[in-house]
Amino acid sequence: MPEANYQDRTQAQDSPSRPFVLINSFTPKPGKLDELELVLEASRDRFADRVPGFHGGRIYRDIDGGSALLISVFETEDHYRSWVETAMFAEYHARISDLTEGMGQSRIEANSVRRERATASATCAC
């Protein structure tokens, strides 16, 4: 049996789309948390009007200073997939990668948990 499309597993084809939410966790290189936070914030603001379907994001720092989270919201998973295929994303991802030792990602839709979890080498959607 062919693998089902994500949309087929989580919602009926005729149901309205739900927001697509990404939670990216970052382990910054030593001494790079402040710079990482600045890059994430500036990029989020720059992408707000330039990335179709991007609804914004929030950055959170761990109290101990050892990690950061970025929660990004896209109109649909297709908007997210289109975004990660752009040259603008590739440049952004390279910059983030230079500041981090590792990344993790969880992908969810509003009101449902996605069954797939990305690994530390996953693409960041920041």
121 has a pLDDT exceeding 70: no
35-78 tens-digit pLDDT: 999 999 999 998 888 999 999 999 999 998 899 999 999 999 89
3-state per-residue secondary structure call for the chain: CCCCCHHHHHCCCCCCCCCEEEEEEEEECCCCHHHHHHHHHHHHHHHCCCCCCEEEEEEEECCCCCCEEEEEEECCHHHHHHHHCCHHHHHHHHHHHHHEEEEEEEEEECCEEEEEEECCCCCCCC
Mean pLDDT of the chain: 80
Q: What is the mean pLDDT of residues 5-13?
A: 44
14 has a pLDDT exceeding 80: no
pLDDT for position 17: 67
Cα–Cα distance measured from residue 83 to residue 37, given in angstroms and rounded to the nearest whole number = 21
Domain residue limits, the chain: 17-118
Select from 121, 108, 117, 116 the least CA-distant residue to 21.
108
CATH match for 17-118 among 3.30.70.100, 2.60.40.2140, 3.40.1110.10, 2.60.40.10: 3.30.70.100
